[in-house]
Amino acid sequence: MAYRTSVAGFPRIGKKRELKFALEKYFRNEISVEELEQTGRQMREYGWKRQKEAGIDFIPSNDFSFYDNLLDAAFLFNIVPERYSALDLSGIDKYFAAARGYQGPAGDVRALPMKKWFNTNYHYIVPEFSDSTKPALSSDNKLIAEFEEAKSLGIRTLPTIAGVYTLLSLSTFAGEKKAGDFASDLVSSYASLAVSASGAGAEWISFAEPALVLDMDENDRSFFRSLYKSLLEEIRRKSSIKVLLQTFFGDIRDCYDDVASLGFDGIGLDFVEGSRSLSLVERGFPKDTVLFAGIVNGKNIWRSDYGVKASLVEKIAASLGSEKIVLSSSCSLLHVPYTTSGEDSIAADVKKYFAFAEEKLSELSEIACGAEGKSGAFESNSMLFASERVFKCPDVQNAISSLTAGDFVRKPDFFERERIQKGVFSLPAYPTTTIGSFPQTVDVRANRALYRNGKMTKAAYDSFIEGKIRECVEFQEEIGLDVLVHGEFERNDMVEYFGSQLYGYIFTKNAWVQSYGSRCVKPPIIWSDICRRSPMTVKWSVFAQKQTKKPVKGMLTGPVTILNWSFPREDIPLREQALQLALAIREEVLDLEKNGIRIIQIDEAALREKLPLRKSDWRTGYLDWAVPAFRLVHAKVRPETQIHTHMCYSEFGDIIKDIDDMDADVITFEASRGDLKILDDLKNADFKTEVGPGVYDIHSARVPFVEEIVAALKKMSGKIPVGKLWVNPDCGLKTRGERETVESLKNLVAAAKILRES
């Protein structure tokens, strides 16, 4: 018997990033809203048709978004702060104002906070409730509209939306009221949505509840039970639609019994990251409920081993019976690229190991049909996994095995280094700097493309980069920044740039993945053991330093971030891959120091990304190797060399002591969208590292005023000793325009000078 199949979500940015480019044109007022919406329709139609052609039985709708699904849910249920709803703008422009901020004739508002979506590199917009928020289902019903749109194409879909518990769990509450105060209105709104979906012809509706894989205490469980007891009762009274509770990114060990007892028609469990999902199901599963079993990895790009997956399915079926099982992706395929087709630069004997979103659809179909159902599929897959894919590099293996405890400890201790560095650099109070990158302007991208395509000589390209660096350094000196950067004009991406200069990596042409909004990344693939080919950044860092007497930071990406923002190997542990990367980056750090670079920034923007979602699992390995991997990179530098690092768009309060243990000299944080809440965490932890909480949000198009930066710095100096406080934007400036960058940095420097004078 063949199993039915399902997908938890599909990529939406476009195979060639069509939606990204349409969004950016719309933001520049180059296309109309009708043209933007037409691009959206094309993206949705493409995804639906690919899934139907692959034979997927449960195809999701409403997984598309112009910016973020959680923000979509907030707007659908009228959870829109008044500062956005009051703007004299169209509905979609109010939506974008909440996502990106707005500064123009209609007003000046900052964007809502943005955070990492669980343990992925996707970012969600944090909804905000105020005491005046009155949740209610909007008449502009995106979920119904997209269901109807798919139906008009002859495709029956499963409409999906973030569940009420996850929506409330991930939101902020700006007034006195808390989550429970909005529960009744939200439950009624969700019930109305389900009834409307039923009226439109939907047989199922899916409520995505990834927050259930987090640690839950009895209060959390009670709140979840009360929400869904009321919601299911109201839905049952008014419709016959079936309800799927969909979870992913882990198992639901804390609330499994609650979920099983509530009477859902379907329950979606993750059997890839959910280490206990199988044992939970074997313990017992509700009789009249369908299990949507997430068995195909929705976050990595390696082919599934059909034998392993078939064995897992057999174990599940032994407890449930095959008729109660739907095979699914472990999470939305939003986190992988569209397809390997067109990746003609990758050799066929290598590409056969990869499965992007469209290939995963085929995997689901083939696994669902079983060894007998698809001619040759299981046999071909078995041959793929029959032999070792790569061989270990002896030099790399020896280097790892030779590491000792001393390789992870920098001497002298932090406070002695701080004393030495204060004398070496003699920086003023509130020293100013940027995070690293400057705008990647049209001429930068055009010349890089010419050079990459062989239409520009290396000498000509190098001359162009030299000119850009010279201009960048001159500008920073002119406005009065204290610690400069070279601008990173030679770099396409903070991970791909380094991966391309390391042995062990494979690169794609079009394997783009959405990070947030219109922002996409193209993660490289770790194929084999990693080591450095030759110096990677020394040339341009040294050139920049020669243009000024002020210190210029050498700019590197740290090993944990390179690992987390790559598609990692699955045949060796993440720890081993991190240490290999750390040794390669350590070589670069020591070469920069040897060539006179006195400040070196080693970005670990993604440190928290792979931290287990449950605190009880934190000490099962991740922090025990992630923090030492960073220390390995810089432990051998001289005390006079100042080590910086940077982290962004995550919640750090609960690992603040681990971050301090990284033993950097200076750390810059994203803090502006989080309303500087990290300041209390730093103060409470007696944080020793010098720190630069970002004073303005670079992911918003608005320019911060001098007064608001001064206010932020005053707030910071009330929690952080002035001698330890740096002034900087909250992230790199690569995606920003030149005008706003110039104005923002001038205001930043002006604010620092005001604080010094006071």
CA triplet 180, 270, 158: central angle to 5 degrees?
75
How far apart, in whole angstroms, are the C-alpha atoms of residue 180 and residue 203? 30
How many angstroms separate the Cα of 157 from the Cα of each of 58, 206, 267, 584?
A: 6, 11, 17, 48
Closest of 79, 734, 102, 744 to residue 448, by C-alpha: 734
Sequence-ordered list of residues with C-beta below 8 angstroms from that of 421, at least 6 positions apart, any chain: 639, 640, 642, 665
Residues in the chain: 758
Query: Is 699 an annotated catalytic residue?
Result: yes
How far apart, in whole angstroms, are the C-alpha atoms of residue 496 and residue 739? 27
- Partners of residue 184 on adjacent β-strands: none
Sequence-ordered list of residues with C-beta below 8 angstroms from that of 521, at least 6 positions apart, any chain: 121, 493, 495, 512, 513, 515, 565
Which is the catalytic residue, given 123, 634, 646, 699?
699
Q: Do residues 694 and 668 make contact, with C-beta atoms less than 8 angstroms apart? A: yes
Q: Do residues 50 and 365 make contact, with C-beta atoms less than 8 angstroms apart? A: no
How many angstroms separate the Cα of 152 from the Cα of each of 36, 42, 45, 156?
A: 20, 14, 10, 9
Q: Are strands 666-669 and 690-693 parallel, antiparallel or unpaired?
A: parallel
Q: Where do we find the tokens 């051998």?
A: 636
Helices marked H in 342-393: 348-351, 357-373, 377-384
**For 705, which DSSP code?**
P
How far apart, in whole angstroms, are the C-alpha atoms of residue 104 and residue 94? 12
Q: Where do we find the tokens 């005491």?
A: 131
Task: Say if residue 559 is preceded by a cis peptide, omega within 30 of 0.
Answer: no
The CB density around residue 356, as the number of other CB atoms within 10 Å, is 22
Integer-rounded Cα Rg, in Å, for the chain is 26
Residue 643 — φ and ψ, nearest 5°?
Answer: -100, 120
147 burial via Cβ count (<10 Å: 0-12, 13-18, 19+): buried
Single-letter residue type at 282: E
Q: What is the dihedral of CA 219, 224, 227, 231, to 10 degrees?
A: -160
How many angstroms separate the Cα of 104 from the Cα of each of 152, 679, 703?
A: 39, 31, 11
**For 437, which DSSP code?**
B
How many angstroms separate the Cα of 234 from the Cα of each of 73, 174, 187, 246?
A: 20, 29, 9, 19
Which two structure tokens, joined as six digits, stand for 295? 């068995």
Closest of 520, 413, 506, 589 to residue 734, by C-alpha: 520
How far apart, in whole angstroms, are the C-alpha atoms of residue 385 and residue 370? 17
Exposure string of 505-528, with b = 16+ CB inside 10 Å and e = fewer, is bbbbebbbbbbbbbebbbbbbbbb
Residue 455 — φ and ψ, nearest 5°?
Answer: -100, 5
Give the DSSP H/E element, type plus range, for residue 179.
helix 179-199
- Annotated catalytic sites, by residue? 699
